[in-house]
């Protein structure tokens, strides 16, 4: 079987140590939905690729795949959200948005609307003062629920956390 080469704009959701030198990268791809990619040798590598594989990184990922898990071949950083990753309050709220997103995306199912919503939310977290971050998370949640067809986007509700928790069936960890 011949390996196919792919390239897609992605947001890194998390990484999982795999061996002494490798990581499994879980990403949300604009074109392919959830990706699980093996980043071989990246933990021992002296290249800058490991720096592109942290949670929240907005990258263009290139990978090959013939069956099973893809093999990451390169990561080109688009945005690393420097103001977000250095502010613990923003970071904890952004992790909540990643957790919600990760719980619903599927492999080989593009969801461009959700990708754009998550990306815009990360940009908002990065660019706004810390005191505005909770409002950006609530906006993400309302729009997420609207995209999933559960809540009209213009409806305000007090129990959105409970609704989302019931919908995704995954506890939302708050820091």
pLDDT in tens, 14-31: 999 998 888 999 999 999
- Chain segment 74-106, per-residue pLDDT in tens: 999 999 999 998 999 999 999 999 999 999 999
CA distance 110 to 10: 11
Assigned architecture for domain 4-79 = Beta Barrel (2.40)
Q: Tell the residue number behind the tokens 């998370």, with chain if given.
A: 137
pTM for the full predicted model: 0.88
What span, in angstroms and rounded, lies between the C-alpha atoms of 91 and 125? 8
Rounded CA Rg of the chain: 17
Q: Where are the domains of the chain?
A: 4-79, 82-168
Instruction: Compare 173 and 31 and report the one with higher pLDDT.
Output: 31
Using DSSP, state whether 120 is helix, strand or coil. Answer: helix
Work out the burial of residue 73: count CB atoms within 10 Å of its CB; fewer than 13 is exposed, 13-18 middle, 19 or more buried: middle
CA distance 158 to 143: 15
72, pLDDT greater than 70: yes
Ramachandran angles phi, psi of 17, nearest 5°? -60, 135
Exposed, middle or buried, 146 (CB in 10 Å: 0-12/13-18/19+)?
A: middle
Binned at pLDDT 50, 70 and 90, residue 141 comes out as very high
């Amino acid at each position: 079987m011949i390996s196919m080469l792919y390239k897609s704009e992605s947001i890194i959701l998390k990484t999982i140590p795999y061996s002494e030198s490798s990581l499994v990268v879980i990403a949300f791809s604009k074109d392919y939905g959830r990706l699980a990619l093996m980043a071989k040798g990246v933990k021992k590598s002296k290249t800058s690729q490991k720096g592109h594989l942290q949670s929240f990184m907005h990258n263009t990922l290139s990978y090959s795949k013939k069956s099973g898990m893809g093999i990451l071949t390169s990561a080109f950083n688009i945005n690393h959200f420097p103001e977000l990753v250095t502010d613990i309050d923003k970071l904890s709220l952004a992790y909540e948005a990643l957790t919600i997103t990760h719980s619903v995306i599927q492999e080989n199912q593009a969801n461009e609307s959700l990708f754009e919503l998550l990306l815009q939310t990360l940009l908002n977290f990065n660019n706004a003062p810390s005191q505005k971050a909770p409002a950006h998370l609530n906006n993400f949640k309302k729009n997420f629920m609207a995209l999933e067809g559960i809540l009209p986007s213009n409806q305000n509700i007090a129990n959105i956390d409970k609704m989302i928790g019931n919908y995704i069936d995954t506890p939302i960890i708050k820091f």
